[in-house]
Structures are given as structure tokens and as C-alpha cells.
Structure 1
Amino acid sequence: MEVASATDNAAWNCEQGKNGEWVCLNQGQPSQEAAQPKVIGSQKAPQAGQPAASAELPAATATMTRTVPDAPAATPQRAEQTATENPVASAEAPAPTPRASLTESQMPAPGKKAVAATNKPGWTCQSGEVGKTNWNCNLVGADPKGAAQVAAAAEAETTSNLPWLTPAYDRQQERTFELLRGEFAQDPWQNCSNWSARRRKIKGASSEAREEANTDVLADFSEVFDGEILNFAGNVDLNRADQHLSADKASYDTVADTMDAQGNVVYSESTLALAADTVSISLARNEARIRNAQFIEAAAPLRGSAAVMYRDSKSLSRYNEATFTSCPPGNQDWVMHASRVKINRESGQGSAKNAWLEFKGVPVIYTPYISFPVDNRRTSGLLAPTWSNTERNGFDFAAPFYWNIATNYDTVITPRYMQKRGGMLRNKFRYLTETSSGSLAAEIMPYDQLREKSRYSAAFRDNSRFTDNLNLLTNLNYVSDKEYFNDMNNALGFQTNRFLSSTSYLNYGRPGIAFSAGVNHYQSVDKTITDAGMPYDILPRVNLSLEHSFDNMPLALGMNNQYSHFYHSELVNGQRLNLAPSVSFPLESSAGFFIPKITGQYTQYQLSNQTAANQPDSISRFLPIFSADTGMTFEKQLNIGNTAYTHTLEPRLFYLYIPRKDQSDIPVFDTAAFDTNFYSLFRENRFSGLDRIQDANQITLAGSSRFIDSSSGLEPLKISLGQILYFQDRTVNLPGVPNQTSSTSNFIGELSGQVTNHLSYTAGAQWDPEANGFARGLAVLKFRNQPDQIFDVGYRYRRNTPNDQLAFINPSNNLVTQTAVGQTISQSDVSFRWPLAAGWYGLGRWQYSFNFGKTTESFIGIEKENCCWRLRVIGRRYINGATTTNFLAPDAKPENAVFVQLELKGLTGFGDQVDRFLQRNLNGYRPASDFED
């Protein structure tokens, strides 16, 4: 092996040309006479049993030459060792007879002839007949007579005439990537095909830790010149903290603070590993030059190559003829190429020239210039486009542009084109201040070709926090017409609410005090709703809740107060004030509880815009409410088979008394009946809102029983049963609903359990003794083996009754919405995500309504994911006119849509973003962001 022989390596500036030759210029001022250059072959010492390499080789031998300074050896022993390790380096080595030889990689396959290069001077040799050892050699031009020269590379035989199908990385480069992969303590691509696998963020050692650590160097040979220059040769291995360097040769100039390494250079640290032919580093100036480099960035993870890597400063680096991909070694499904890349970490921006992307070996995108962010700082530029295809809009394409206006302001401008409707412009502006964050979004279609009119929408979101206890939440929305969402939503979603709400509330909270004040406004997005069927606007509503408990006695005080002003253009308007002080005496222990409670409910109405004659303008109501809730818990240890269980028995009684008071003259502003389930058996009022307070003299008999696996903690069985016994008829009802005279409520039973860590079930039924039939029914079987295996199958039934103007609380804004009356629900629902084969997954959902006799929602798709890309193809059939899952518009009809998403990991995604759609429509699905640390 050749070793360094220059007394001042740092003073030489060497560049390697395209033909492989090194040209060195001595920039320093050595104290002794300048050395004369000489030719040194890069060939290794011959192995045992092989002929020694000649100093003069014909063109057929793949021998590189380079010009280096010839300095006197430090000692006679050193000079002898140099000549022994590399006979070619010795000027006195005799030149043997010229001959033609081929390396193993240049030997033609049996039955094939070597590629002739008759247009190039020198010797050209071809194999003879199969089975014979003679060579057929021809000379073109003058005989080189054994002089050392750069050998012409053999022309590789290819199986395809398409140059773009040539792999970006050859086999030798892939082997180098595998070598670099082994430099990390943890494989950067470990579990990369599983998007839900949590990955630890890799952190490198601090600069302080590296400066304090010792540097250990191992090498076959080392020498020191003038106490300043350290040369190492032969299996050089350097370690400091998390840094590791190996090379054939390395030298370090302690005065200039420079380091050079040549030959099979491998450098690694916690987050980076690279291999190169040569590395030249100026530690003092944070400069470096690396040639023929391959690298792996473990944090991303990314890998790539560059003909030359330059580090101009601590924050600026440049790359020539660069490529990179997030695919693991051995996989080149997508590769990004660029002739020049520049990265400025101080500004957080990078740029590339002549950049093009290949997928599966085929170029798909080219750009002469592109800029991109290199960290979390925002940068203006084009975002990935989205597209879909629906029956309602045809081909739908959007190309968003991101504008980073300032550090706390930005906007996304999105031109959108729909084949059947025309063009649309959308803008979403975001802001962030010391006290507020929010967005203002608007979109406009100047002319809808199908509706023959202009259409638009706007939305404003704001969250302002003035103190730790005081904040303002605003959510304002407006659309130009009732069918806007049904028409303008893409294939992934549509509006399912019948009303578009706008709210703004000021909230104050601290222990024992909760205050809120704000407004509610509703806009209909359901064309079947008339103006008279619109909810009341609330302008404003003020809530004040007070509560206090005592540590030394079982006493709890509370008071819920509310003022609301209701406005409607078609109905009676009113102002409502409600005061509800309460006192309770909670007695609780691990064995049971007993909680008596007394509440005084006072309500005052001031009415205007009366729509009926002889109605009072002022109405007041006071009702005392008494309740007593008690329950006990019994436990027993038992064995079933070879498994130990804890069996519990939890009986519960709930008594409620509210005197009867006629409330028929009170308008209904925001009140509806709650749906019936097991937990509704313990409500103090079966109505939402305050316009109706039920009359009650009743007791609830209920109980639950559980079986808990003592070893695993699983609850394979839970049974809950309950029923209300009425001691009087219920005469307080919503308008149009008759009095309820039954002596019992529906008998409610619920059954649930977790059979294994992955399999669970839920079932429930309500038996109506008066109608002698089932009023409610539910059965769901769930299998969860996140994230790959998800399967749900279920059925839901609800019979319509005269009291089915039901209220549901929207968890996003705690507002009460109502369903229509007189609809029976009978529907099945099946959804799944399941592995198929070879990394492919199937996913889908089918929701069928038996009372409508048609499918209301269905989609089916396939998904493939590996370490560097994810592909989704989904076809959807849905009823866009469905105002809810239970009701259909008169002209509702099924529609079809197909959308495709291709995500190149570590780069970008193309097509529709489907995570939100799957999270909303595939029960149990969780996006990849939920699994990030």
C-alpha cells in the first residue's frame, strides 16, 4: 500500500480530473528544495501466487496514475518500507516486457466477444474461440511500449436501449450504502414500512462533548514531521466521541488545522454516515471538500450521492451531480437528481438546478430551478397539487401556492379547476400574535357553468387568550347557497350537518367559577328546510356557574345561571333568564355512595313578536327538584377454568321528584328530547334546554355486573340492566306530543366486553312494554390490531315514536341540534383495513339503509406502503344529497368518485390527502401523525 511521503501534505492543492489523473500544485514554501514529481500507480501489492504488477502496463489494464510530490524519506527504514509496499512507486524498479492483461471485470462472458474499440489508440484484445486460451489482440496507432497511462473504461453491455431505465446506483454503490447502514447503532430504516411504528429521534453528541473526548487512532504505519504533521497509513481507524473515521491514508496538520484522508474513506457520527474517495477538511475554517461521496442521513432517513461535496462554511454547502432518496439500500423506487444543489442552513433554504424526479426508473417531473426549505422555517413556493374525479364536478384539479408573508403571517392561494363548473380561486390567510391565532378563508367561483351563477364562501377562526383564565373563541361561517357544500366539496367529503353555525364566546374559568358570554347564528345548508324550520339565533347567551365544596363536611353548593335572547324572523322572539341554585350532601366511599340533592329552578320569559293571539308577554316558572342517587359495589374472587376473575355486582337506585306545572304557554326555543339509553335513566330532566322541565315522580332500578380478568385486566363481560318505574303520568311534553301514561319506561339492557387485546363487542336493546316490541337495538363487533388490521361490523335499529324529536349535543361546540320527527332507522355498517399480500392492504366501508333500501355510503380501495412511498387508490359511491345519515333529500341520487394519492416519503405527496377522510369514515383508523414522538 502506498503511504504519504510529502513533508507538508497540507501545502499541496490536488484535483482529480475526469480521466482519473491527479494534478497537484505546491502552494506552500517548503524550507528545502522542491521535490520532483513522479508517477505512482494506485495498484495494490500483489497477492501470494500472483505476478507482480508492472510499472508499465498497456491500455487494457485498468490502472490509474497520479502525480504527487517526491519528498525524501524520513529514515532509511521508511524508504525501504515504501519501496517494498509499492514496487511501482520506486523509480529504480525495472520495467518488464510489455504485455496485455485484463482484470476479472473486463473478461467477456463465455461465448461472447469483448467489445471492440477500434477507434481508440492502443491495444484492443478479444477472446478467441470458446475453450481456447489464446487472445486476439490488435494494435491501433503507435505502440505505447508499456508506458503507464489511464486505461479506457470498458463499455458496459446493457439489456435496454432506454438510458432512463439505468439504475441511479449500481451494485457497488448499493454495497457501499449497506456498509454505511451498518455504521449506525440502530437501523435508520427499521420498521419504516410500518407507518405507525414509533421512531426515536436520533440526536448527535454535543460539540462540548466532542471537544472534551480523547481521539484514538489506530493504523499500520504512522509518522510525525517536525512535530506538526501526523501521517497515518494502512487501515487507519480514528474515533472521537460519536465520530468514527476509517481510510487507507490520513494526515493531520496541527498548525493549519487541516485533515486529509484518501482511499476508502468512511466517516460516521450519530446522524450521518458517508463514504468517499478523498476528504479534505479545514477544521479552523469549517471548510471541507469530499469527492465521489455517498451518504446516509439517519434522522430523515435519506441517502444519496454527489460527485463533489463542498462545505464553504459552517452553514453553506454545495453538491455537484447529486442524487437522493428516502428508499432503503437495495430499493430505488424514486430518486431525485440535480446537477447542482446549494443548502444554506443560516437562511433555512436550499436550491437545485436541473432537478428531475424519477419513479420506478422513469422520469416524471423536471424543473430547471427549484428552491425548498431545509428545516422547519417556512418558505414561499408551490405546494403539491391535488386532483380527483367525481360525477358532479368531473376532473377536479387544484394547485396551491404558499406565500410566507412574515414570521407570523402567511397565506395559501389555491387556483382550482372543475371540468363541469369552471374555475375557482381560494385563499386561506393565517396569523399569529402574542395573544391570538386564527385564519381567514374565502373562495369564489365567478361563474358556475352548471348553476349559472356566482358562488362563494367565507370562514373566520380566532382563538385569543388574554390571560390564563380568559379567552375568546370565534368561529364564523357563510356560504352563498344551501347546496354549496354538496357541490363544491371534493370526492373526499361533504357537509353532513343540516345547519352551518357561527359562534363567538368569551370564556372565563377558575376553580369554582365558570363564565361565558357569546352569540350563536345558524344558516341552513339543507334545501329541504324552510325558513320557519330554522333554529333560533341566540343574541346573546350568558352563562355563570358557581360551585363550592367543603373539606370537613359532606356538603356541596352550586348555582347555574343563564340568560338568553332568542331571535327568529318567522316565530315568536323571547328573552329567558334562568336561576338554579342547588345543595347536595354527597356521602361516598369505596363500598358505595348516597347523594341527595335539592335544586330550585326559576325561569323568567319576556316575549315579543307574538304569532298567536292572547299569548302573555311575560311568563315565570319556579320548580323545586329533588333527587337521591345511591349505589353499592360488591366484589368476589372466583375461578372459571384456570383463569382468576374479579366479579362485581353494582346495584343502583335513583329517585326523582318534580311537581307538575303547566308549561304549554312557553315557546320552545332550544329544547328537544334526549335519546334514551342506559345513562339517560339517571337524568334530572329528559329534555335538553330549559323550555321544558319534566314532571316526575319516579324511581330508577338499575344494576351492572362485571367480570374482570385478574391477570390481564381485561373486562370480557359487562352487563347493565335498568328501567324507570313511574308513579304518575307525564303531562309536560313538547308541542304535538301526547301525554305519556305508561307505568314503566323501556327496559334497557346493554352488553359489552373485551375478549382479547384486539377483539371487543357491544350490544344493546330496549324493549317497549307498551308496544310489546323492540324500540332500540345495537350490535357491534370490533377487531383492532393497530394499524394494519381493523374490522368492524354492526347493525343499528331505532323505531320512530311520537316523542322522537330528539336532541344531540355536538361535541365540537357543545351546541344542541335536533333531528326530524318520524323516521325509523335500520342500517348496517361494515368497515375494514386488512393486509392482502406482498405489502398490499384492502380498505373499505359499506353502509346500507334497510328503511331506504339503498346504500348510503360505500368505498373500496387498496393501499401499498413500503419504506419510501405509499400509494392509495380508492373508489367511492355515496349519496351527496343526504342531509344526515338518516334522511335523504327528494332528489338525492348515488354518485361515484375515484381518487389516487401517491406519497413519496421525505419528499412530497401527489393527489388528495385522505387521512382526514379515513379518520372520519373508517372507524378505528388513526393517521400517521398520532404515532410520532
Structure 2
Amino acid sequence: MPLAVLLAVALPASPVAWAQESAGEGLALKPSKQLNQTRRKDLRPAMALSADRITTEVDQRSEAQGDVQLRYGNLLLKTKTLTYDHAQDLATAQGDVELSQNGAILRGPTLSLFVDRFEGQLDSPTYFFSTTGGSGSAKALHFLGDQRMRADEATYSTCPVSEDGERKRDWELVTKSLRLDFEAGEGEATGAVLRFLGVPILAAPSLSFPLGDQPKSGLLPPNVNIDNRSGFEFGQPYYWSIAPNRDATFTPYVMTKRGAGVDSEFRFLEPAHRGQINLAWLPNDRVMGRSRWDLRLQNDGDITPNWRYQINSERVSDNDYWKDFRRRMSSQTPRLLQSDYRTQRDFDFNWGDVQAYARVQRWQPLQVTETVDQFASPYQRSPQIGVRLQTEADDSVLAGYLPTGRGARLEGGVEVEYNRFDLPSGALTSQTQTGERMHMLGHVSLPMSGAAWWLIPKVSFNSASYHVDETLANGQRSISRTIPTFSIDHGWILERNTTLFGQDARQTLEPRVLYLNTPYRDQSFVPNFDAAPRDYNFDSVFAENQFSGVDRVSDAHMVAFGATSRWIENERGEEQLRLGMVQRYLLRDQRISPDGTPQTHRLSDVVLLGSAHLNQAWWTDSTLQLNSSDGKVERTVLRLRYSPGPFRTLSASYRLARGQSEQLELAWQWPLFGPDRKAVTGGPGCQGAWYGAGRLQYSMRDKRFTDSVIGAEYDSGCWILRIGAERQATGRAETNTRLMLQLELVGLSPLGSNALKVLRDNIPGYRSLSSERSAFGTYD
């Protein structure tokens, strides 16, 4: 058995080090991945060489044969035969050469390398990059320094190669030349062709791409979309890296039904300003015979070190834009678009803080021709100017949920604000009143608490003065009113140790009671610019006013009460079960109510809450609103979710609002057939598997499906195909159906429509099949 010898070869200006095998125990080199060495430019690391046999002429030439390993910094070279020229710092290796550096493994028959400069050539190489799981081959690989290399006639793919070499890769990027500059974070391929299942699907004379997180100008994968309103759409994005803090993306596109257009996005990040501008422009829509566009502005920053500003605006060309181009809009309310411009300055004092602010808020309602589907537009604020003063209150105590045990002290706040209210051009013809309002809101409270309780007596007022442009019902154009409120909020948080289904747990009991007294004031002549009924739920039961905004204040002499109990597992601290109940009791009739009908029944609707997470696979939660007079269900939401493992999720929900809507929803992501992949593995040996994914919404009141998505995914291990259809309701008898087709080459890029985003946005618990294999993560 040959004797292993370890030789440390000294480079110029580096010490000579010799190591000898200890008796009965050999020395071994660790793989490069296990070492975390940092190299100073002015200090060369020692070179270590081991082999079955080594002959050397000191400071001239060394030859190693049999199981050769050379270590230099984070570089590890393995081969059968190696010759090292000390004077030239040139290593020549032959036979099963393997070079490992920075997570890359390069193999080839012969190598010549100037070690310290890392310059040389590897013939007929194959390579593997652990960061992406990709591999390939080339005619020759030229090392141009520690951070640069060039490959001639190179290929790249994340698909595995069959052991016999007969089966070709499912997809492969073939280039005439591939240059990689890791220091600049840039890669450039010339004569690039992307082949999928042997068929060329994308070709580019020159293709540039980023290496790592650094942005790089160049073409992005094309976009493909198909829907029944615009036909087939093809778009080719181009990314422009203007500067480290600025970039832009331009996407020229063509639609078979509507014509050609362009989508654009400009982003910037300055020391005091940040934001983006988006413009989607269709110069001539052949269907409508006009120009169509969507313009979005998002920007915030500092005017001065103390003054902040924010801009959030979206505008479209016409009322039907949301039907035809919903995908290009960002607003969560596509039929009501907001333009909001605001500025604010904060002042901090020992006793509290002051906020001075100004705002202009505009609306663009997108109305339809059907009268039944039209809606009242909210009022615009042109402008809104105000100031708020707040003492240094303990917000958690004032919210009534966290006892602190601190001493009682007076807290308070006041808000003074001026608003000019007008109507947008798309408002209903029945909306005519406009005007001005000056209001003042204030409160004084004395919060006190112990280790497990809180008590907050509070006095507040709502005062407003109006001047309107049209005469009010009482014949006047000016009116004022002031409404006081007194409340006492009291609650406890009690705990005890218990067990739940045989597991140790901590149970809480959290009762709460609120006494409220707001006198009745006639508000029938007061204009309503911004008040709206609050949603009746578990939290709003304890609200002092059943209206949001300023213009309406509900009279009330009542007690709101309820309790919540939670079971929290001791081992992981997870909440396993929650039960709760809240209700109101009226001490007198309520004349101003959200539904406009005086409330004479003493007990309000009761709200019940329940949620359970009894194990890692099952979740359920529900809320139930029961009418206390007839016992009927007014509203309910029931949700159930089953998720036993990765890529396996089923969820169902039922929603009921009596007299308004009744809806069922089913969503899923589940394997259909193919290998059982409970964990993402990737790499060689992967076989294809089909998954189903989708969400169905069914209106039981209208007896039809509404917004729904259904699709299927095929995961081959190195590429994923997504196909499906998305349906969105654009009216009582109108829908927009969109077909989705996306091919994701794991480790490279997705092609086609963005089906992944649609599935992720619509399916609770959805998980991308490539989430643990793609170097690019998920895609927006």
C-alpha cells in the first residue's frame, strides 16, 4: 500500500512548511465547502500538495502521481498526475481533473493553471454549480482571473444527465461563447439558443444576464397571455439598469384583437425620495377606436428633514378599462381609483406629540351603463388640513388589551381639521351636495390597571360646523353641532394551567365590559360627507360610535359585554383553540342607527367566534352573528383548511349575509399522479408528477360561478409546466376568461403568462413547486 505524503510547497515570500504523517494516523484535506477562508491581497496562502508519490526539486519543480490533491486558499484540485513549476507558478494536471472553488465543481481531462493568478485553461470541461443546481459542458474553459472566465461552445441546464448518456436533457441553453464576470455580477452569452425537448424555443445573438443579485440590462423572458376580450398577447420586456438606484422596464406588446402598445415602469431610490412610475399605453385600440392607458404614481420622501410627503395615484383612460385590462391595474378596488397626495410633520415634546398635515384626495369612479350596477362615489377632499395633539399615552392600555400595573394618570388628545368636500366627474346625478366642514374631536381619559385588569373612564366629544353650497332641508346653508360621550372600559386577563387533548396548555379567560352613554342629537339636517356604518363584528361591538368618519354619531346608552377564552400549547406556544362571545344591551332606545331604523330591542345581535388548530394539518375558524329577537343567522363565515404536508392543501369556506349574498368557495393544491414528492428534492433521478390547483367560487344566491381559477402543474424535476384558466366577473352577465400557460425552467427563468402569481394570489396555502430549487425564488 503506497505511503501518503503531504508536502507544503513554498511560494515566493511565503514560509516553507513541512508536515509528516503521524504514526498510525493519516492527514486529510477538507473539501473546500467546509472551509471559510478569507484571502488578503498582500498575503498569499500556503500551498498544500498530497499524493501517493511526490518527487520534488526545491524551488524548481514538483511532480505528483496517484490520488493527487492540491490546496491553495479556497481552491481544491484533484487529479491523477500533476506537475508544478515553482518559478512560473504553473500547475499542469492530466487524468480525471477535478477543480472545486466557491461551490463550483469543474471536471476535465487536462488542465494548465497559473495558480496564484488563476489564469489558464481546462479542456473539454463539465461543470456543476451548487448554488443553482445547474450543470453543463464546453469545448474549453478559460480562466481569466479569480473572478472571470470564458467558456467556448458552452451548454447549461438544471436537468439531470442519464447514467448511460443516451437520454438528452429536457431543456438546455446552448451558446457559442459564454463570458462570466463574478466581480461585476454580469454574464454574457453569444449565439445563445434555448432548446426544450429538442426544439429551439428562444434564440438571441447576444444575451446578457445578472450573476447573483446585481441587476443587468438586457432582454427578459417574453410574456404570453390569452383572453376572450383581447385575444392572443405577446410582450417582450427589456430591463434597463440605469444606475444602482434607478432602473426601468419597457415591454412592447401586441394583441391580436386590439393592436400594439407598451408597458413601462421606472423605479428610483434616492436618499430622500423613493418611488415608481408605471404607464400602460395602447395608442390605438382597434376594438374601441381610441387610445387606452393606465398611469400609476407611487412616491414618498422628505421635503425637509421634518416634513414627509406621500403620493399614491392611479388613473385610467375610460370607464371600461377595468373590464378589458384588469391585469394591468394595481388598485384593489378596480372600479374606484384614488389619487392621494399628503404631507405631514411630527413634533415631539416631553408631554406627547403633535402632527400637522395636509392632504388632497381625488377619486375616479368607473361607472357602467346599467343603473343597477352604478354606485355612489365618495367625496373628494380638496383640501384636508389639520393638526393632532396626543399625550404620551400607553396605546396598549388605551386599546384595552394589555394590563401593565402602572399608576393612573390623565391622558388626552384633540384633533382640529378643515375639509373642502366636492364630487368627482363620475358621481351619480343624485349626488349634488358639496361644502366645507370644520371639526374638532377630543377626549380625556384616566387609564388605570393592575397585573391582570384595566379600567379606563373616558370623556370625549365630536364637534363640527358646516357650510354647504346648496340649501339644507331646513332652509339654511350653515349648521353646527356638538355631541359628548362618556364611557368606562373594564376588562380582565385571567390564566390557569390545564390540558387539552392530553397536552399541557395554558388557558386564558378574558372578560370585557364597556359602559357607554352618548346623548341623542338631531342630525337629520346635517350633511353626510364621510360617515359610513361600521361593520358589526367582534371588535366593533366595543366601538364608541357605530359610524366611521365624523358626520354621524350614534346615540347610545348601553353596555357592551363579552369574553374570550384561549388554549395555548406550552411546548411551542401555539394557540390551539379560541372561543368568544360579545353582545350589547341597550339601556334606552337608540334613535340613530347604522340601518336608519330606531333600535327598540334591548339585546343586540350576538356574535360568536371560534377557531381551532388542533394539529399541524387541520385549521378551522368561524364567526356567527345571530339575531337576538328571532334567533336567525344574520351573517356567518365558516372556514376549514387541511394541509398535511408540502404541496398538499385543501380549503373550503361558506359565507352568508342574509338577504344579500350566500357563497361557497373551494381551493386546493394536491398531487394528481406521479412520484410522491412530500419534499422537494430535484436533481438526478427526478420523475414527472402532476398537481392540481385552483379555486372555485359559487354564488348560491345567483346560482352561478363567479371569480374562479382552475389549473394543473407538471413538475419534471428541472422544469415545471403550468396550464389553467382564470375567470373574472365584469358584470351580471359579463365575464373575462383568461387562459394561462407558463413554462418555468428551474434555475433559469419562467416563460409565458404569470400563472404562478395567479395561483399564489388565489389559493390559501399555495406553495410554488420550485420554491426550494430555483435560484430566483418566486416570481411576481
Q: Within 5 Å, give how 1:466-545 maps onto structure 2.
A: 466=303, 470-490=307-327, 496-509=333-346, 512-513=352-353, 514-527=355-368, 528=370, 533-545=376-388
Structure 1 range deviating more: 840-849 or 442-451: 442-451
User: After superposition, where does 1:258-269 map in structure 2 within 5 Å?
Assistant: 258-269=90-101
What is the CA distance between 1:640 and its match in structure 2? 5.7
* Counterpart AA for 1:451: M
Q: 1:492 to 1:385 in 2, by over 3 A?
A: farther
> Cα distance, 1:435 vs. partner?
1.6
Measured in 1, the distance between the counterparts of 2:734 and 2:483 equals: 50
Cα deviation 1:587-607 (Å, max 9, x = unaligned): 223322211111132222222
Alpha carbons of 1:226 and 1:702: their partners in 2 closer, same or farther (altered >3 Å)? closer
Q: Compared with structure 1, are the counterparts of its residues 767 and 368 closer, same or farther at alpha carbon in structure 2 (3 Å cutoff)?
A: closer
| CA displacement 1:891-928 (0-9 Å, x = unmatched) | x3344331111111222211112343233322233669
RMSD value, Cα: 3.0
Task: Output the CA distance in 2 between the equivalents of 1:596 and 1:929.
Answer: 55
Equivalence for 2:140: 308
Matched, 1:780 2:675: no
Structure 2: which amino acid aligns with 1:395? Answer: F
Following superposition of structure 1 onto structure 2, how do residues 871-882 of structure 1 map, counting pairs within 5 Å? 871-881=721-731
What CA distance in whole angstroms lies between the structure 1 residues aligned with 2:199 and 2:489? Answer: 71
Q: Higher strand proportion, which one?
A: 2
CA contact (8 A) 2:471 2:477 kept: no
Aligned equivalents of 1:547, 1:490: Cα separation in 2: 42
Instruction: Please say if 1:566 is aligned against 2:421.
Output: yes
- Contact persistence 1:485–1:494 (CA under 8 A): no
Confirm or deny that 1:707 pairs with 2:567: yes
State the match for 2:263 in structure 1. Answer: 426
Take 2:375 and 2:475, find their aligned partners in 1: how far apart are those partners?
Answer: 19
Matched, 1:832 2:664: no
User: Which segment drifts farther, 644-653 or 853-862?
Assistant: 644-653
Question: Which aligned pairs between 1:98-497 and structure 2 lie closer than 5 A?
Answer: 205-208=37-40, 214-225=46-57, 227-283=59-115, 285-328=117-160, 330=162, 332-345=169-182, 347-466=184-303, 470-490=307-327, 496-497=333-334
| Structure 1, gaps ≥5 residues long | 1-181, 187-202, 801-823, 882-887
Number of aligned positions between the proteins = 702
CA–CA separation in structure 2 for the residues paired with 1:490 and 1:681: 38
Preserved contact between residue 400 and residue 415 of structure 1 (Cα < 8 Å): yes
2:510 partner amino acid: E
Q: How far is 1:778 from its partner?
A: 1.6
Spell out, residue by residue over 1:147-189, the C-alpha distance to the aligned partner (whole angstroms, 9 max, x if none): xxxxxxxxxxxxxxxxxxxxxxxxxxxxxxxxxxx96769xxx
- d(CA) in 1 for partners of 2:248, 2:577: 53
8 Å contact 1:307–1:321 — kept in the other structure? yes
2:427 match: none
What residue in structure 2 maps to residue 78 of structure 1?
A: none
1:348: Cα distance to partner?
4.2
Instruction: Give yes or no for contact 2:586–2:602 (8 Å, CA) kept in 1.
Output: yes
For the pair 1:742 / 2:585, whether they are aligned, the reply is no
Q: Structure 1 residues 616, 840: CA separation in 2 closer, same or farther (over 3 Å shift)?
A: same
Closer, same or farther: CA 539–490 of 1 in aligned 2, 3 Å: closer
In structure 2, the partner of 1:39 is none
SS in 2 for 1:486: helix
Q: Aligned pair in 2 of structure 1 residues 707, 380: CA closer, same or farther (>3 Å)?
A: closer
Taking the aligned partners of 2:690 and 2:735, their CA distance within structure 1 comes to 28
| Of 517-526 and 402-411, the range deviating more from structure 2 | 402-411
1:654 partner letter: L
Contact 1:486 1:495 in 2 (8 A): no
2:612 is the alignment partner of 1:727: no
Taking the aligned partners of 1:209 and 1:555, their CA distance within structure 2 comes to 64
Question: Which residues of 2 match residues 852-871 of structure 1 at below 5 A?
Answer: 852-871=702-721
Is the 2:66–2:81 Cα contact (8 Å) retained in structure 1? yes
1:577 to 438, 445, 449: 438
**1:591 matched to which residue of 2?**
452
How far off its partner does 1:867 sit? Answer: 4.3
SS in 1 for 2:539: helix
Report the Cα distance in structure 1 between the residues aligned to 2:63 and 2:612, rounded to whole angstroms.
Answer: 72
Which segment is superposed worse, 683-692 or 417-426? 417-426
Give distance in 1, aligned partners of 2:519 and 2:188.
77
Q: Relative to structure 1, is the Cα distance of residues 646 and 277 closer, same or farther in structure 2, using a 3 angstrom cutoff?
A: same
1:690–1:652 Cα change, 3 Å: same
Which residue is 1:644 aligned to?
504
Tell me the residue number matched to 1:33.
Answer: none
- Unaligned 5+ segments in structure 2 are 1-29, 163-167, 394-405, 425-430, 675-688
* 8 Å CA contact 1:486, 1:494 repeated in 2: no
CA distance 1:458–1:715, change in 2 (3 Å) = closer
Inter-CA distance 239–427: structure 2 relative to 1 (3 Å threshold): closer
Cα 1:774/1:576, change in 2 over 3 Å? same
Alignment-derived partner of residue 541 in structure 2: 681
Seen in structure 2, the aligned counterparts of structure 1 residues 752 and 536 have a Cα distance that, compared at 3 Å, is same
CA distance in 2, matches of 1:712, 1:518: 46
Instruction: Find the residue that maps to 1:684 and give its secondary structure.
Output: coil
Decide whether aligned partners of structure 1 residues 915 and 629 sit closer, same or farther in structure 2, where only a CA change above 3 A counts. farther
What letter corresponds to residue 697 of structure 1 in structure 2?
Answer: H
Q: Per the alignment, do residues 308 and 743 of structure 1 end up closer, same or farther by CA in structure 2, a change over 3 Å counting? A: same
- Cα shift at 1:353: 2.9
Note the C-alpha offset of 1:696.
Answer: 0.8
How far apart, in 1, do the equivalents of 2:454 and 2:332 lie? 45
Q: SS of the counterpart of 1:207?
A: coil
- The residue type equivalent to 1:237 in the other structure is Q
Larger Rg: 1
| 1:634 Cα deviation after fit | 3.2
Distance in 2 (CA, whole Å) between partners of 1:297 and 1:233 is 28
Alpha-carbon distance in structure 1 between the residues aligned to 2:323 and 2:727: 14
Are the counterparts in 1 of residues 367 and 374 from structure 2 also a CA contact under 8 Å?
no
Give me the whole-angstrom Cα distance separating, in 1, the residues matched to 2:519 and 2:745: 67
Is the 1:503–1:521 contact (alpha carbons within 8 Å) kept by the matching residues of 2?
yes
Separation of aligned partners in 2, 1:313 and 1:270: 14
1:790 aligns with 2:649: yes
- The one-letter amino acid paired with 2:261 is M
Deviations 1:172-212 (A, max 9, x none): xxxxxxxxxx96769xxxxxxxxxxxxxxxx9632249957
- How far off its partner does 1:756 sit? 1.0
The answer to whether the 8 A contact 1:210-1:240 is kept is no
TM-score (norm 2): 0.83
Change (3 A) 1:225 1:772: closer
Per the alignment, in what secondary structure is the counterpart of residue 332 of structure 1?
coil
Task: Check 1:624–1:911 CA distance in 2 against 1; reply closer, same or farther (3 A cut).
Answer: same
Q: Distance in 2 between matches of 1:346 and 1:531?
A: 58
Over 3 Å counting, the alpha-carbon distance change for 1:362 and 1:416 in structure 2 is closer
Distance 2:38 2:95 in 1: 29
Change (3 A) 1:290 1:420: same
Structure 1 residue 357: Cα displacement: 1.7
Checking the alignment, whether the CA contact within 8 Å between 2:186 and 2:216 is kept in structure 1 is yes
CA distance, structure 2, for counterparts of residue 834 and residue 847 of structure 1: 18
